[in-house]
Structure 1
Amino acid sequence: MGRKVRKYLLGLVGVSLALAGTAWAAQLSAETKECVECHKEQMPGLVTQWETSSHWNSGVGCYECHRAEPGEPDAMDHNGWTVAIIVSPKDCGRCHSKEAAEQEASHHAEAGNILNSKDALLGQTVAGEPAVAVGCRQCHGSIVQTNPDGTLSQSTWPNTGIGRVNPDGSKGTCSACHTRHRFSKAQARKPDVCGKCHLGPDHPQKEVYEESKHGILFRAFEDELNMDNPKWVAGEDYFDAPTCATCHMSATPNQPVTHDVGARLSWNLRAPVSTRTKDWEKKLANMKDVCTACHGAQFVDGFYKQFDDFVDLYNTKFAIPAKEIRSLLIQEGVITKANFDDQIDWMYWTLWHHAGRRGRHGAAMSGPDYAFWNGIYDVAKIFYTEFLPEAKRACEKAGKPELYQRILSKYIENDPRHEWYVKGFDPKRVEAIRKYYQERYNQKVE
């Protein structure tokens, strides 16, 4: 193709795009056009993002999202227009009613409840309010406060926490996942959007995903996943790797998209002791339906058998005994009812809130290192070398050594899984391991 022909065709494309842009611009409201005229000078990046969005293509602009009624808590005068800075789920629900209703019913919308939890006590008291503002609340959400003129208080804004409590009473923020002002489906489907909050020592889902085969495949074939497709069904629109959205939100041949991220979760893996969720059988069936887009039924059933066994091991061997032992120490006056004022409180917290969550999420998401070394190994290490010795020390200090003997009898000595802790490792088993290493690796084991 000659240079002149290419130049001519590129010119036609440019004209077509310009005409298309003019046509779409004609659909914009007069209010939005006035907003854009100013903001194109003041915030060109923001406007450019919006001009590449589906909102722009649908004629939805600044005023349609940010308009407010006089008297609303966050209504403010902005160059003669009454607008609100925050676009809440209630606002998005004017067009996206199904998605807003699902989000409102989800656990995400309740994430702000951390503000009244032990986590908040730990953050505000031990760390301090500034740390909570830029840490905890940027994921869980703040209660956004307004000034008398409708502007937002700097102590609680900016904030994109998923459980943010908005001035209009709604909970959450769509832009936590669909980042402004593109509101891109493709971006919201990538693991990184979840990784802002779901990572770290107490909820390392992002790291577990990256360790898993799912994460490995995503990195290898990210460019082939068609993540901007409207429906994006695993097994139809893409084949190589699931993301967080695939399993927890996206459509399957048998299920629609859901913005209730708990609709497929059959276990609560966050609590000190894991319990089944409400309607867990249905939720499990929903998740298995996702899995079968790539895996056979026997594979899926085997995975869940191993996962359920792991959760039961964590619960019955460590979590339930630790919880009941701490409660007994409180009941007997050995430690106080307050949180974090006794050494054993910190040990118990780390056991379930950090190590216990890491192990359970590792098992749930096929991350073997997190299931064992970063998970159940640390749970066991805390339980055997810190928690139980501290319980003994506290009982003796309180003049109640017999209480620790009751604890040993009830929770340790009568459970064969703890036999090694009481009697030591079985010498025959130790010798068998020694012989195995010598024969297989020609390695002497001391």
Structure 2
Amino acid sequence: MYIRIGQILLFTLGLVLSSQSFAERPAGKQGKDWGSEEGKECVECHMTESPGMYWEWNNSKHGQNGVDCLDCHKAEEGDVDGYEHHDQLISVIVTPKDCSTCHPREFKEVQRSHHASAGEILHSLDNLLGEVIGGPAAVNAGCRQCHGTTVKIDEKGKPTKDTWPNTGIGRINPDGSKGACSACHGRHEFSRAQARTPDTCGKCHVGPDHPQIEVYNESKHGIIYRANVDKMNLDSDKWVAGVDYSAAPTCATCHMSASGDQPKTHDVGERISWNLRSPISNKINLVRLDNGHQYDLPEGKPLPKVGDKPDHPKAKGGTVTEVLTWDERRAKMEGICYACHTSEYVDGHYKQLDDLVDLYNTKFAKPIAAVITDLKAMGKLTSAPFDEKIEWVWWEIWHHEGRRARHGASMSGPDYTWWHGIYEVAKHTYFEFIPELKKLVGEVEAQKLLDKHFRPIEGHDWFFNGLNPAQIEAVRKGYEERYGKGAMK
């Protein structure tokens, strides 16, 4: 009796859902005017088997425009990731190449972008830390969930459990395409609004070495966005800054979206003029090729010309089709800023950013890197990374604190620029790196290296000769004016 009642309830639920299922479908006949006829069976099954998935799809732009399950998941004979499922050959993985059927421009831009190459971290120091010093399981559940991984397929045509699920932005797919559209446009709604929120980027751009979401949240942009999110018009089709919204930008505004004469793009690095990730920052030019690849070239390196076949590992035999200099890339970003700011304001921001990066480079990164180079030449460091403490200290200075300082300045986050940034760079330089240097080579040799690389830089004068008495007196005077005579001991 109870079983029969349950069956009746399930049947009734199915009828209700079925009546709702196609109530909002586009006009016309399925299989002729929209969607595939076979896809109707998928929809009807998933209404009861996985209703959450169904409703996300049903209410999405895809669902409301007649794109059904098979339009995205149908596989072809010979596909390595294709398998039989209820008399249909399907694939679990929907790749950027699959999405390119309807979104060819976005596919092309993504494939050449920094995002798409994020999965190529196998030979990086970050990966060495994870795989060896941490452990493969940590890399699988951690690093690769943002960077992506090579998805492997088992003998049944399904992705292996150690490589799936994975929505890493640089995922390497069985069809050779790179990336995962669902990293930003979550399944199965694939919402533009969701992809435009800072929290979407904050899944990966977070933490000690790349805290962009934290920097954004403390910036004036982030504060205003949170207060005015209901005015952001996030689901707009064109979403032009200064036209469709004006309260504040999000990550997508600056790096991807349209404004003024700047068209939208899925090439997230196109408007970046500084490399703020490496030990020493460089302004970067961009070289694009006819084979779909592109690469950054630091300022000062000879630039190829359109039509050249550059001898560069990332060129992969391609012919140059476009060269964007660092100042042209900056002009693209400035074009976004001008939607809400005057040229004087934008120029001032970039002046402050450039000065901060120059300070980091000149005062800290270059002399420390030079000391490390000399230590290797002296035979004081092995060729293996991370087997001496001084290498760990330098790693964290540039990879953590230095990045925080530089990104803080680039995104108007003062706390990350100073307290989480340059303050910690300085503290660890003077009170970790230099003491470790003295332990490694002795006081005499350490002093020679410091005299060679640090002493000529004016900013280190206080370290060698003590704080300037006039500076101390100015601080004392101000302190006593605020707290009373004798307050500063």
Q: TM-score, normalised by structure 1?
A: 0.93
Whether the aligned pair in 1 keeps the contact of 2:212 and 2:407 (CA below 8 Å) is: yes
Q: What CA distance in whole angstroms lies between the structure 1 residues aligned with 2:188 and 2:203?
A: 18
User: Following TM superposition, by how much is the alpha carbon of 1:149 offset from its aligned partner in structure 2, in angstroms?
Assistant: 1.5
Structure 2 unmatched runs, 5+: 1-18, 286-324
> 1:445 and 2:484 equivalent?
no
> 1:166 and 2:173 equivalent?
yes
Whether the aligned pair in 1 keeps the contact of 2:26 and 2:64 (CA below 8 Å) is: no
User: Following TM superposition, by how much is the alpha carbon of 1:406 offset from its aligned partner in structure 2, in angstroms?
Assistant: 2.7
Whether the aligned pair in 2 keeps the contact of 1:107 and 1:262 (CA below 8 Å) is: yes
Letter in 2 for 1:321: P
Q: 1:21 aligns with which of 22, 25, 35?
A: 25
Q: Match for residue 118 of structure 1?
A: 125
User: Following TM superposition, by how much is the alpha carbon of 1:154 offset from its aligned partner in structure 2, in angstroms?
Assistant: 0.7
Q: 1:417 aligns with which of 445, 459, 466?
A: 459
Q: What CA distance in whole angstroms lies between the structure 2 residues aligned with 1:344 and 1:193?
A: 36
Whether the aligned pair in 1 keeps the contact of 2:274 and 2:284 (CA below 8 Å) is: yes
Whether the aligned pair in 1 keeps the contact of 2:370 and 2:453 (CA below 8 Å) is: no
Count of matched residue positions in the alignment of Structure 1 and Structure 2: 428
Match runs of 1:12-411 below 5 Å: 20-21=24-25, 23=27, 26=30, 27-278=34-285, 279-396=325-442, 402-411=444-453
Whether the aligned pair in 2 keeps the contact of 1:24 and 1:57 (CA below 8 Å) is: no
Letter in 1 for 2:128: L
Q: TM-score, normalised by structure 2?
A: 0.85
Q: What CA distance in whole angstroms lies between the structure 1 residues aligned with 2:397 and 2:128?
A: 18
Whether the aligned pair in 2 keeps the contact of 1:24 and 1:59 (CA below 8 Å) is: no
Q: What CA distance in whole angstroms lies between the structure 1 residues aligned with 2:199 and 2:461?
A: 44
Over 3 Å counting, the alpha-carbon distance change for 1:22 and 1:236 in structure 2 is: closer
Letter in 1 for 2:160: S
Letter in 1 for 2:51: P
Q: Match for residue 6 of structure 1?
A: none
Aligned partner of residue 307 in structure 1, secondary structure: helix
Over 3 Å counting, the alpha-carbon distance change for 1:433 and 1:107 in structure 2 is: same
Q: What CA distance in whole angstroms lies between the structure 1 residues aligned with 2:395 and 2:148?
A: 22
Q: Match for residue 3 of structure 1?
A: none
Q: What CA distance in whole angstroms lies between the structure 1 residues aligned with 2:425 and 2:28?
A: 58
Letter in 1 for 2:105: K
Aligned partner of residue 229 in structure 1, secondary structure: coil
User: Following TM superposition, by how much is the alpha carbon of 1:330 offset from its aligned partner in structure 2, in angstroms?
Assistant: 1.3
Letter in 2 for 1:354: H
User: Following TM superposition, by how much is the alpha carbon of 1:19 offset from its aligned partner in structure 2, in angstroms?
Assistant: 5.4
User: Following TM superposition, by how much is the alpha carbon of 1:229 offset from its aligned partner in structure 2, in angstroms?
Assistant: 0.8
Whether the aligned pair in 2 keeps the contact of 1:24 and 1:56 (CA below 8 Å) is: no
User: Following TM superposition, by how much is the alpha carbon of 1:441 offset from its aligned partner in structure 2, in angstroms?
Assistant: 4.3
Whether the aligned pair in 1 keeps the contact of 2:35 and 2:71 (CA below 8 Å) is: no
Q: What CA distance in whole angstroms lies between the structure 2 residues aligned with 1:101 and 1:22?
A: 29
Q: What CA distance in whole angstroms lies between the structure 2 residues aligned with 1:148 and 1:230?
A: 42
Aligned partner of residue 114 in structure 1, secondary structure: coil
Aligned partner of residue 137 in structure 1, secondary structure: helix
Q: What CA distance in whole angstroms lies between the structure 2 residues aligned with 1:185 and 1:213?
A: 24
Whether the aligned pair in 1 keeps the contact of 2:26 and 2:66 (CA below 8 Å) is: no
Match runs of 1:429-440 below 5 Å: 429-440=471-482
Structure 1 unmatched runs, 5+: 1-14
Q: What CA distance in whole angstroms lies between the structure 2 residues aligned with 1:441 and 1:292?
A: 44
Q: What CA distance in whole angstroms lies between the structure 1 residues aligned with 2:107 and 2:29?
A: 27
Q: What CA distance in whole angstroms lies between the structure 2 residues aligned with 1:25 and 1:111?
A: 42
User: Following TM superposition, by how much is the alpha carbon of 1:353 offset from its aligned partner in structure 2, in angstroms?
Assistant: 0.6
Letter in 2 for 1:361: H
Over 3 Å counting, the alpha-carbon distance change for 1:25 and 1:214 in structure 2 is: farther
Q: What CA distance in whole angstroms lies between the structure 2 residues aligned with 1:214 and 1:372?
A: 18
Aligned partner of residue 115 in structure 1, secondary structure: coil
User: Following TM superposition, by how much is the alpha carbon of 1:405 offset from its aligned partner in structure 2, in angstroms?
Assistant: 3.0
Partner deviation per Cα, 1:37-58 (whole Å, 9 max, x = no partner) = 2111211111110111111222
Aligned partner of residue 77 in structure 1, secondary structure: strand
User: Following TM superposition, by how much is the alpha carbon of 1:115 offset from its aligned partner in structure 2, in angstroms?
Assistant: 2.2
Whether the aligned pair in 2 keeps the contact of 1:203 and 1:357 (CA below 8 Å) is: yes
Q: What CA distance in whole angstroms lies between the structure 2 residues aligned with 1:24 and 1:272?
A: 59
Q: What CA distance in whole angstroms lies between the structure 2 residues aligned with 1:255 and 1:31?
A: 42
Q: What CA distance in whole angstroms lies between the structure 1 residues aligned with 2:98 and 2:362?
A: 46
Q: What CA distance in whole angstroms lies between the structure 1 residues aligned with 2:251 and 2:192?
A: 13
Whether the aligned pair in 1 keeps the contact of 2:146 and 2:167 (CA below 8 Å) is: yes
Whether the aligned pair in 2 keeps the contact of 1:28 and 1:61 (CA below 8 Å) is: yes
Q: What CA distance in whole angstroms lies between the structure 2 residues aligned with 1:115 and 1:70?
A: 32
User: Following TM superposition, by how much is the alpha carbon of 1:374 offset from its aligned partner in structure 2, in angstroms?
Assistant: 0.2
Of 331-340 and 210-219, deviating more is: 331-340
Over 3 Å counting, the alpha-carbon distance change for 1:424 and 1:66 in structure 2 is: same
User: Following TM superposition, by how much is the alpha carbon of 1:76 offset from its aligned partner in structure 2, in angstroms?
Assistant: 1.4
Whether the aligned pair in 2 keeps the contact of 1:434 and 1:445 (CA below 8 Å) is: yes
Supply the RMSD in Å over aligned alpha carbons.
Answer: 1.6
User: Following TM superposition, by how much is the alpha carbon of 1:428 offset from its aligned partner in structure 2, in angstroms?
Assistant: 2.3
Q: Match for residue 10 of structure 1?
A: none
Letter in 2 for 1:102: E
Aligned partner of residue 113 in structure 1, secondary structure: coil
